[in-house]
Amino acid sequence: MIKQTKSKIVYQNKWMHVKEDVTELPDGSAGLYGYVVKPDFAAILPVHSDGRIQLVEQYRYPVRRRMWEIPQGGAEHSDAQGTADAAARELREETGFVAATWEHMARLHEAPALVDQACDLFLATDLSAGKITLDQTEQDMQTAAFTLDEIKAMITSGDITCAITISAIGLWVMR
């Protein structure tokens, strides 16, 4: 096991902070590890009664492109209730849909070598339409429903590259 001997925050803002830990490796030698600390988040696979999947598209600044992905968003609390609440909120805000049936599908780590953040993935079914209420940072977001074959083609072509979205589709297909 790697043992932490010192830790400090080297950068922080209201959404995240970067830590730098001095460590001791199993052979006794010193190591240094930098990583991002972020609150957990929820991702939602909204499936309509006809099997179509509701996605959202938005500009993702770090990769400088618009991306189709499943709805997702940060949780106020990093526990089961916090991510479940976030899932319901994000689905409603980003797509306008409300789900009558929820199922926790998995707990995922998107980049465990770089960030401590986990994602709770939920399947949302029995959808009913409502009003979209986007946050200011989501003002360019669009939403649309796609068949599984359309989504598979978007993944194969590189139009969908979001690891959480691809994982959600894979887990759903494996059922």
Domains of the chain: 3-37 (no CATH), 41-174 (3.90.79.10)
The residue with tokens 């599908």 is 105
Q: Pairing relation of β-strands 142-146 and 53-60?
A: antiparallel
Asked if residue 102 lies in contact with residue 124, where contact means CB atoms within 8 angstroms, the answer is: yes
Query: Which residues on adjacent β-strands are paired with residue 27?
Result: none
Of 6, 36, 7, 40, the closest CA to residue 109 belongs to 40
**Backbone phi, then psi, for 141, in 5-degree steps?**
-70, 140
Residue 78's pLDDT is: 67
Specify the DSSP class assigned to residue 139.
Answer: T
Residue 80's pLDDT is: 67
Residue 137's pLDDT is: 83
Kind and range of the H or E element at 40? none
Residue 82's pLDDT is: 78
DSSP 9-28: EEEE-SS-EEEEEEEE-TTS
Give this prediction's pTM. 0.92
Q: Is the dihedral of CA 32, 75, 172, 146 positive or negative?
A: negative
Asked if residue 27 lies in contact with residue 15, where contact means CB atoms within 8 angstroms, the answer is: no
**Tens place of pLDDT for every residue, the chain, 175 residues?**
999 999 999 999 999 999 999 999 999 999 999 999 999 999 999 999 999 999 999 999 999 999 999 999 988 766 667 789 999 999 999 999 999 999 999 999 999 999 999 999 999 999 999 999 988 888 899 999 999 999 999 999 999 999 999 999 999 999 8
Residue 139's pLDDT is: 87
Query: Which residues on adjacent β-strands are paired with residue 103?
Result: 123
